[in-house]
Amino acid sequence: MAKVSALSLFLLLLSFTSGWNLMMANGQKTWCIAKPSSDQATLLSNLNYACSQVDCRVMQRGCPCFSPDNLMNHASIAMNLYYQAKGRNRWNCDFRGSGLIVITDPSYANCLYE
């Protein structure tokens, strides 16, 4: 029993330090969104940074994720695109403390968070 507990603890610690992505043991997918408490300047900075690293065309006018057309929505989509593209590591959703990893799919209408 002690071996199993020690092994479980080792694997848990390893998952937080080795770069494993945040897929849970049962295969649960994770997404990155902006914290609701984030200020406008932070959201804009996150949006600009993420979109300089990944393709954010899905948020252009006429595309599925354009509406609602607000900074919180667009920053969350961009942050998630970045997080997914970079391997779903917790640090890929940090955004200087303004990112939040969630286990509930934030997709809506025709806007699919991948």
Residues 106, 114: Cα–Cα separation, whole Å: 10
Residue 26 pLDDT: 52
Domains of the chain as residue ranges with CATH: 21-102 (1.20.58.1040)
pLDDT-based confidence at 2, cuts 50/70/90?
Answer: very low
Question: pTM value?
Answer: 0.77
Bridge partners (DSSP) of residue 99 are 34
111, pLDDT greater than 70? yes
Residues 33, 77: Cα–Cα separation, whole Å: 7
Instruction: List, for residues 58-104, the tens digit of each pLDDT value.
Output: 999 999 999 999 999 999 999 999 999 999 999 999 999 999 999 99
